[in-house]
Amino acid sequence: MMAGDDADGNGVPNKGVLVTTRYSKIIFEPDRPEAEAIGEFQTRPTNAPHQARQLGRDRLKDMNIFELVVLMSLWRKVNREKTLADNDQKDDGNGHIEPGQLNLTVLKAATNNFSEANKLGEGGFGEVFKGTLPNGEEIAVKRLSRHSSQGLSELKTELVLAAKLKHRNLVQLMCVCLQEEKLLIYEFMPNRSLDTFLFDPMRRLQLDWSRRFNIMCGIARGLLYLHEESRLKVIHRDLKPSNVLLDAKMNPKISDFGLARAFGGDQSRDITRRPVGTLGYMSPEYAYYGHVSTKSDTFSFGVIVLEMVTGRRNNSTYECADSVSLLSYVWGKWTTGSTIEVVDSSLDGHYPEDEVLNCVEIGLLCVQENPADRPDASAVALMLSSNSTIDERHPPSRPAFVFGSGHSCTMYGIPAGASNTEGALIRDEQPLKTAISENEVTISELQPSSAWRTKMQTED
């Protein structure tokens, strides 16, 4: 890591800070257990008093840019010798520029000064640009908004998690540049995101069944790593096709960990007063009550599986008088024994029927209304790897958010255009754009129906 030595009156370096993560990891106190190394990002055990947990969350929110610079300075101190050794190499012999050389000047040149022609996408956090380094290597640069508090929060979360999470099905953060701007540099994914293929009538033709199944398995492996195999237990909280990127060989990589929640020890669930995520992919217990757990990601994965089988988007709102949600549609076909009718017609019958039916059932198991009934990541991975157990499973129960044609309410029980008690408007005619999601309807807080409230209170 390289940090500017000059500082203004506030103690913030004038020259900015550049942090590399490819060869380093954050260690706050070397003698502390790994689970504690996430510092402010770790929540207390579920049996701790609510006030203590809330204090930790409030403390996280109150971290400012000065504290972030201090964090990076600690990182520099711990990894100084290793970083200097890496920077001395300059070039690895294969023409790859080392991350330590990616300063603001290099990044501006790589992205043509962040031109519109280089823009890959945009969200509440800021913008993403394609960059090409002098040696021809391609990168993706996330330029966090200067006016978004979510941008700083996302930066801190991704910075900490990037030091801990390394897996072939996760997008890797190469380095972070804080030289005048907040920039995150990632490996470039030439095929962009899954949604650009799946929901485009022409590009979807490139997704034959073999590729779709490979993508499902890759996402499942990534979730298994996050939930059970990494040093930390990580809940993504915003898993959706636009956050699944595809490399040159169409292998999937989960991206965007700015909203992720990390746990240490045996903790695997928590309660938040402000759920964040995307309508259509949020589980009911999370959207309504803020109950976040690994089963929240399981629900999101199930929706993605059903979308990939059907080629239909699980839109957050529907023209209720004439149509039903994707979950309702698939559930109705499954209960009547006509599951094969939901398969995307663009596949033109070129798929192994047993494997497709297995995936539909896995998707339905993942979106069951009761989170306790949903399989965990290891069970999902096992079911995807073997069709032989399909007759041995308990059949899926009714999915969440199932309602049929003619009903007046939309997904999550919110009428189109209605507002909740906090004044947040949910629209179906025009997607909302917030700091949480891109090009999709989003929510912060919802009021559940009395029936669902009674059900959840009974289960608790």
The residues near 111 (Cβ < 8 Å, ≥ 6 apart) are: 118, 129, 130, 131, 141
Q: Residue 177: how many CA atoms within 13 Å on its side-chain side?
A: 22
Pairwise CA distance, residues 449 & 354, whole Å: 38
Burial 167-198 (b: 16+ CB within 10 A, else e): bebbbebbbbbbbebbbbbbbbbebbbbbbbb
Q: What are residue 341's phi and psi, to 5 degrees?
A: -70, -15
- Residue with the two structure tokens 């600690």: 74
Q: How far is CA 15 from the centre of its chain?
A: 32
Instruction: State how far the alpha carbon of 5 is from the alpha carbons of 80, 102, 173, in Å.
Output: 15, 18, 25
Q: According to the annotation, is 142 in a ligand binding site?
A: yes
Catalytically active residues are 238
Binding residue positions: 142
Binding residue positions for ATP: 142
